[in-house]
Amino acid sequence: MKFHTKYLWFNTKSRKEIVPITHEVERAVAESGVKEGLVLVSAMHITACVFVNDYEHGLWEDIMEWAEKLAPFKRDYKHHQTGEDNADAHLKRLLLGHQVLLPITEGKLDLGPWEQVFYGEFDGQRRKRVIIKVIGE
């Protein structure tokens, strides 16, 4: 059994942003030498997410609008009584999830025809990271 760990670091220009990371995940799989296994991709911050979907900018806007409708920014969150202003970012992360587990087949990331991996940021403009953990043979 092989294990390989890689970290991606982000410091987004915007507070809310979607960043494609499929190529970085593919690179980590290749570096690992794993031919059959799994790769875990997980946001290591509580106001960011990792998800799989289509690489299409209109859809990204739809995702951000949907998340904003379900978890809007508002001043009266109880979390804001602690001096924070990002309760909505925590809730948006719950909606989109903090990690994905993906198959590796014949040494390659095994995604469906339109599937891509994304990092989603909801409270950016500061340094955050994602872990890529490759496990297999």
How much is the pTM? 0.95
How far apart CA 101 and CA 94 sit, in angstroms, is 16
How many domains are there within the chain? 1
CA 7 to chain CA mean position, Å: 12
Please indicate, yes or no, if residue 78 is contained in any of the structural domains: no
Please indicate, yes or no, if residue 79 is contained in any of the structural domains: no
Please indicate, yes or no, if residue 28 is contained in any of the structural domains: yes
Please indicate, yes or no, if residue 51 is contained in any of the structural domains: yes
In terms of residue numbers, what domain contains 46?
2-73+85-136
Each of the 137 residues of the chain gets a pLDDT tens digit; together they read 999 999 999 999 999 999 999 999 999 999 999 999 999 999 999 999 999 999 999 999 999 999 999 999 999 999 989 999 999 999 999 999 999 999 999 999 999 999 999 999 999 999 999 999 999 99
Interval 64-102: pLDDT, tens: 999 999 999 999 999 989 999 999 999 999 999 999 999
> Can you give the CATH number for the domain in which 20 is found?
2.60.120.460
Please indicate, yes or no, if residue 68 is contained in any of the structural domains: yes
State the pairing for strand pair 99-105/37-43.
Answer: antiparallel
